[in-house]
Amino acid sequence: MTDKKNCKEEKENIKTKKKNEIQNTINCPELGKCCEIGPLTPTQRRQEAFDIRKNAAQFQRDLPLPGHPCNGDEDRFQNKIGSFSKTLPHNNLGEVCLDAYNTYIKALTTGNPEIFELIPLGGVVKLANPQASYAYDLYGPDSHHLTMAVAPTFSSAWRASEMAEDYWSALTRDVAFTNYNTNSLTIAAAADLSKFSDFRGPKQDGMVTTETLFRGNLPGDLVGPYVSQLFYKPIPFGNRTIAQRYNSPIAGDDFMVTYEEWLNIQNGGLPNESITFDPPARFIRNGRDLGQWVHVDFTYQGVLSACLILLGFGPDAIDPNNPYLDSKTQNGFITFGSAQFLDFVAKAARVALEAAWFQKFLVHRVLRPEAFGGCVQNNLTGATEYPINPELFNSQSLCKVFNKYGTYLLPMAYPEGSPTHPAYPAGHATVAGAGVTMLKAFFNEKFIIPDPVVASADGLSLMPFKGESLTLGGELNKMASNISIGRDLAGVHWRSDSSEGLTLGETVAIQILQDYKNTYNEDFEGFTLTKFDGTTIII
């Protein structure tokens, strides 16, 4: 009996010893007891990882809380004509049903998922993800901790100029960018926009010209062809290369120009028409092509493609501060190499959209240009007397639109019109601003783009561009403007949505880079980049 007892105790002691040995191996308190090597013990590494995350969170927490001012239109107009209400039920004037709008506001105010399910809809189309306005993230800035400039008011001269620009964009969609200097419509558009007292697009000697028409205000936007080289260069994609030829809608393929269809779309009805394409695939050569590109692209497609193109340019296109450029024994990959570059343009996209959605739904709720077009139509037919700035009614664009379509509605490039989320800021612009800022941090902005090209007027070929050298930084900025203003050319956004969205996205990317600056082992002096306002910063 005693022998059995001793045997049992011995077995138990052996089990306990093995258990302790396994635990000691897991804990690895001494370097010699496990395979791991490195400057820190596991315990030290765990604490260091915690401190890095904690310090990044504290940095974000300690930034000053910004204000979130809006333009006041929601309170100014009892009938909510200055506010986004697409998909909700509307009367025959396109004015939203106030009971439905109040439920929508209650849902946004409370954040209660159950109330969102009670929002009355006017048709079958749904609101686009308003609850993303409340999402948190684990890197970069919190969406509610960012601010924006106040959007133009419904009755301002600023808004009138932006609406005129959208009308002219619709009228000139089929004009090749290479023909802007000679086409009568683009010449008229430049002259007309020059007359507005508060037009904020780029100018030359105080005037809008065919060289500045529908372009952005960023460094590089006015240099060279309208379209960025990053929309023309072939895209290296694994074991193949993708030529940037895209499906092009036929000329004159415009939508929502009848009042019945316009009202149907405002109420969340399905469109009665679809886009007709004009084969073969073409290089982007006019506003309709660019508008279609930003119609069906996925969130960060543009900056992803740009990253792949820039990687194909070789080491001269890499940022000079990259710690591996001068290394004799190592290359960058997971850090300071392609894996990180590609990852960060994707990382920035979602955080940028969270920032945009907060502003869209919880701060501004700005109406889309198509809704404003309905207000113009009702004013000019005598049905309403909305306080639209009179500068708009002096624009030649209105009579040209009416003569072509028989209404004053804004001709849209998409059958469904705008997406079902508010206008300000543009999601495309915010993602583009964030992605381009990431690329400027990783690549050499002074690198000269080799063999620049421009699309032929029919979009079937690329021709050599002979002119001023095009820098990588300038063409990144131009691509960001192309993506954001491409949505304006389609009729779904205002210029201010685009310009302010780019700035918001830039801020998101900079703060993500700040969060990651202490995560690297390499000797690294920091990210250097040129902001959209032309200033240079080091992160």
Find out whether 504 and 352 touch, Cβ atoms under 8 Å.
yes
d(CA 127, CA 499) in angstroms, rounded, equals 24
Angle at 502 between CA 150 and CA 287, to 5 degrees: 105
> Angle, to 10 degrees, between the axis of helix 472-489 and the axis of helix 301-311?
160
Helix axes 495-516, 427-442, angle to 10 degrees: 40
C-alpha 100/C-alpha 90 separation (Å) is: 9
Bond from prior residue into 202 cis (ω within 30 degrees of 0): no
Q: Give how far Cα 332 sits from Cα of 124, 235, 327, 446, 514, Å.
A: 50, 21, 9, 21, 20
Residue type, 536: T
Name the residues annotated as catalytic: 421, 428
Half-sphere exposure of 448 (CA within 13 A, CB side): 5
The CA-to-CA distance between both ends of the chain, in Å, stands at: 75
**Residue 66 DSSP symbol:** P
d(CA 536, CA 534): 7
H-helix or E-strand containing 503?
Answer: helix 495-516
Q: Which of 170, 153, 158, 148 is nearest to 81 (CA)?
A: 153
Q: Evaluate the omega torsion of the peptide bond into residue 369 and state whether it is cis, within 30 degrees of 0.
A: no
The residue count for the chain: 539
Burial class (CB in 10 A: 0-12, 13-18, 19+), 60: middle
Q: What is the 3-state secondary structure (H, E, C) of 180-222?
A: CCCCHHHHHHHHHHCCCCCCCCCCECCECCCCCCCCCCCCCCC
**What span, in angstroms and rounded, lies between the C-alpha atoms of 396 and 161?**
12
Backbone phi and psi for residue 448, each to the nearest 5 degrees, phi listed first: -90, 125
Q: Are 122 and 267 in contact (CB under 8 A)?
A: yes
Give the distance from CA 88 to its chain's centroid: 25
> How many Å apart are CA 135 and CA 532, to the nearest integer?
27
